[in-house]
């Protein structure tokens, strides 16, 4: 189907596509899909999308996807998703991702996530995020993370964070952390913030 024909795709039409059809979507076809067409996408369809097609997704398309469909993404697909496309991610969408998929979040993707998207992150998901991606969390994102998520925080993640990030963690969040992680965070809170690179 030519890319131009995809511009009129309706939600029910896309929702009826077989995963094997989704697996054959070309990048230009994905780019041409209206965001509304993705509102009935299923997880099996999302899991079948080729990474090259995912690399063409726009923020409106990602924002329109049901949480279950986003939960169907695999790690290699997430790495293909442009950071700009993640700016409309919703809490239920991020909350639906498997921890193994969350582990693939790149620092620039983490940086692009709206703080509100982090409200449903679980302890297993937080524990799966790479130390490099954790360093990209800003104060608002840390504030949005539920306190229960910090049960999954690992020592290497805490070690990678800045003193300002540590100071952004409330006592309730720090109390949820494993003891070794809590000690690292509390020590970081006492350190001065290094000067910004010039």
Per-residue pLDDT band for 90 (boundaries 50, 70, 90) equals very high
- 72 and 100, same domain (yes or no): no
Same domain? For 109 and 151 the reply is yes
On whether both 82 and 101 belong to a single domain, the answer is no
- Judge whether residue 192 has pLDDT over 90: no
Domain boundary among 53, 88, 123: 88
The answer to whether residues 162 and 138 belong to one domain is: yes
Give the chain's domain count.
Answer: 2
Distances (CA, A) of 101 to 77, 139, 174, 180: 9, 23, 25, 26
Assess whether 13 and 45 both reside in one domain. yes
In a domain, 65, yes or no: yes
Terminal CA-to-CA distance of the chain, rounded, Å? 51
**Residue pair 47/66 in contact by the 8 Å Cβ criterion:** no
End-of-domain residue from the set 88, 111, 138? 88
Residue after which a domain boundary falls, among 88, 118, 143: 88
Q: Are 77 and 1 in a shared domain?
A: yes
pLDDT over 70 at 99, yes or no: yes
The tokens 């809590």 sit on which residue?
Answer: 182
Q: Do 182 and 102 belong together in one domain?
A: yes
CA 57, CA 142: separation in Å to the nearest integer? 27
Q: Rounded mean pLDDT of 44-66?
A: 97
Tokens (6 digits) for 48: 């079948």
pLDDT above 80 for 20: yes
Provide the domain limits for residue 159.
94-191
- One domain for residues 64 and 139: no
Asked if residue 198 belongs to a domain, the reply is: no
For the chain, give the mean pLDDT.
95
**Does residue 119 lie in a domain region?**
yes
Whether residue 80 sits in one domain with residue 147: no
Instruction: Examine the domain organization and report whether 127 and 178 are in the same domain.
Output: yes
Residue 167 lies in a domain: yes
Q: Over the stretch 127-168, which tens digit does the pLDDT of each residue have?
A: 999 999 999 999 999 999 999 999 999 999 999 999 999 999
The answer to whether residues 123 and 80 belong to one domain is: no
**pLDDT more than 90, % of the chain:** 94
């Amino acid at each position: 189907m030519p890319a131009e024909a995809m511009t009129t795709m309706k939600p029910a039409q896309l929702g009826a596509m077989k995963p094997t059809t989704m697996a054959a979507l070309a990048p230009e076809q994905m780019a041409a899909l209206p965001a509304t067409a993705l509102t009935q996408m299923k997880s099996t369809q999302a899991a079948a999308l080729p990474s090259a097609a995912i690399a063409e997704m726009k923020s409106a398309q990602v924002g329109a996807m049901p949480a279950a469909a986003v939960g169907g993404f695999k790690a290699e697909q997430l790495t293909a998703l442009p950071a700009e496309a993640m700016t409309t991610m919703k809490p239920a969408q991020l909350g639906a991702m498997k921890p193994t998929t969350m582990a693939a979040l790149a620092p620039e993707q983490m940086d692009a996530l709206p703080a509100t998207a982090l409200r449903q992150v679980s302890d297993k998901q937080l524990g799966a995020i790479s130390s490099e991606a954790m360093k990209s969390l800003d104060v608002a994102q840390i504030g949005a993370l539920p306190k229960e998520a910090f049960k999954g925080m690992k020592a290497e993640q805490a070690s990678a964070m800045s003193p300002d990030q540590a100071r952004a963690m409330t006592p309730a969040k720090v109390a949820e952390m494993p003891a070794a992680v809590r000690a690292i965070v509390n020590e970081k809170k006492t350190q001065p913030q290094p000067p910004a690179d010039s």
